[in-house]
Structure 1
């Protein structure tokens, strides 16, 4: 997979856009702010296959920016959106630093294509416009960041310090609960988050296994490299010490020490 991505990057890397997640976050915020003056704006941007077929083709792109999670404009809603925008800036910058600009772009583009296909399939099967595809794209970025930097801490409500993996676990649980309400919702959410499941989760599992293996090798090395010269007890017959044989007992006689296997020398 890495070799394939490297070939893609060598060929198309010049097309990558630095700060793509920042632009996405600003569009989220912009749509929310414009919605304060034009309440029907979000509806005009959402995915609706019927209206797309009638000529409103912009919805194929703009639906990904219609991610307003609350109903209506409010000061608290604005504060939340500003805070979410700042966090997306942080997440995007961190992912670009971890993966590189091209692969971060590819991750976002994968999320967009998945959301588009999921939205199309949902409306074809139900006849209704799909729910929340744009939010799930934001969630996929959040989950990726939380997986790579689980100990990153934010101030919840600007007061309570919480590690990001805890918030990701809570949000993931809520998404799972919603997914279990209907098989179609499950399929929709899974497809929208496929970039996370296929690009991030396998690497995280492999990384955890590698860290566990490295830690095991390090422990074995440290154990084998412990010098017996620092031993306090040493059997004068076989040379056993409390380091090499931690379960042995030692006794002394005439200035010499003997382990439990050679205690007959003491008697």
Structure 2
């Protein structure tokens, strides 16, 4: 999208390197809190009503609330999986675009929470309905679009292409939304749409989606190299002041400095005694 290109040119320096590491650290903190002091987690949720009452910290601390999963093994697998996805996306897109993608998802989630709060007149279905689960899902979907044919081992056992995994998750998301609307609790669909709005904006509403594909990125890099080949500067230790030859012009060439020349002039064996001395 042109607007993203403009933002990158103007604010590119504000990208956060290794953002995935910080996200996973937040998840780890959240998991530790949920396992040790369950009641403490309730003070971290994104709840607009409590925020408007003065609990401003909830605007940030809800990021510590990890995606659901209590089994330690599945948590470790999830952390390693999303570390791989996130770091690869950052290398593919660049730090700024990846940072913008993540933070726009967080921002849309906060906006969605407040809109739902005001639409419902301050009524909330249950605490913690806005979480980082679908933020993590947006990373997986973005990776699947960028690397559709990459195979991963699901749970380190089942080989599956990313595009098929994405199709399964999209189908699950669609089913959840349909179910919530059918049962008359459409409010439950708001967190899903809000958290995935960054994916919709970045991919489904842009015409140059292929420019983010790794093959396209590689093709553009190779084209730039072909058009503007890098000049390789060769540094040599010796160079004859007369003929310009260096040690690269022959293995048997010898070079000496002339003590009679005024300055550091070096000559090859053919011109050491025949050159005109510099005074």
Instruction: State the 1:102 CA deviation.
Output: 0.4
Output the CA distance in 2 between the equivalents of 1:40 and 1:166: 38
User: Counterparts of 1:147 and 1:204 in 2: how far apart (Å)?
Assistant: 14
Note the 1:17-166 alignment, pairs <5 A: 17-70=16-69, 73=70, 77-126=71-120, 127-128=123-124, 129=127, 131-166=129-164
- The corresponding residue for 1:216 is none
The question of whether the paired residues in 2 share the 8 Å contact of 1:140 and 1:196 is answered with yes
- The TM-score with structure 1 as length reference comes to 0.69
Deviating 4+ runs (over 4 angstroms): 202-206
For residue 202 of structure 1, report the CA deviation from its aligned partner. Answer: 4.2
Q: Deviations over 1:179-228 (max 9, x none)?
A: 112243344422221110120234588539x9xxxxxxxxxxxxxxxxxx
Q: Which runs of 5+ in 1 are unaligned?
A: 211-267
2:251 alignment counterpart: none
Q: Work out the CA distance in 2 between the residues paired with 1:152 and 1:43.
A: 38
Match of 1:225 in 2: none
- Residue aligning to 1:250: none
CA distance in 2, matches of 1:64, 1:50: 17
1:43 offset after TM fit, Å?
Answer: 1.4
Unaligned runs of 5+ in 2: 214-279
Is the Cα contact below 8 Å between 1:49 and 1:123 reproduced in 2? yes
Q: Compute the displacement of 1:55 (Å).
A: 2.1
Aligned mates of 2:208, 2:56 — CA distance in 1: 40
Q: Which SS does the other structure have where 2:149 is aligned?
A: coil
Q: Quick one: distance in 2 between partners of 1:205 and 1:9?
A: 16
Higher relative contact order (CA 8 A, sep 6+): 2
Query: Is the alpha carbon distance of 1:159 and 1:188 closer, same or farther for their aligned partners in structure 2, counting shifts above 3 Å?
Result: closer
Q: What is the root-mean-square deviation in Å for CA atoms of aligned residues? A: 2.3
| Between structures 1 and 2, the one with greater helix share | 1
Q: Which residue of 2 aligns with 1:254?
A: none
Aligned to 1:46, the other structure's residue is in SS state coil
Equivalent residue for 1:192, pick from 183, 192, 195: 195
Q: Secondary structure at the match of 2:129?
A: coil
Matched residues, number: 203
- Whole-angstrom CA distance in 2 between matches of 1:166 and 1:113: 28
SS in 1 for 2:43: helix
User: How much does 1:140 deviate?
Assistant: 0.7
When normalised by structure 2's length, the TM-score is 0.66
